[in-house]
Amino acid sequence: LGTYIGDFVIEQGIGVTISSLSEISELASSISPSALHSMRLNVAKYSSKVRSGHYTRSALLASLPIESL
């Protein structure tokens, strides 16, 4: 979809993106069981990092001026 999060989702294989809610039904019926399994495994890799605040902390640190570190 050309958004950072959409690109991240696709690149990491953790889900799919849509441009319209009208696409959901067709997309849901087209995802194979093996693709869904793969997405679930990939999500598990990121789950603990999201829950622990890893990405939030990284973003905040990246936004600080260098001299603040």
pLDDT tens-digit readout, 49-65? 889 999 899 999 998 88
Position 8: which residue type? F
Measured CA distances, 27 to 10, 32, 34, 68, 69 (Å): 14, 10, 15, 46, 45
Task: Report the number of secondary-structure helices (H) and strands (E) in the chain.
Answer: 4, 0
pTM of the complete model: 0.66
Angle 30-32-34 from CA coordinates, rounded to 5°: 160
pLDDT tens-digit readout, 11-20? 999 999 998 9
Residue that the structure tokens 């598990």 belong to: 44
Residues in the chain: 69
Share of the chain above pLDDT 70, in %: 94
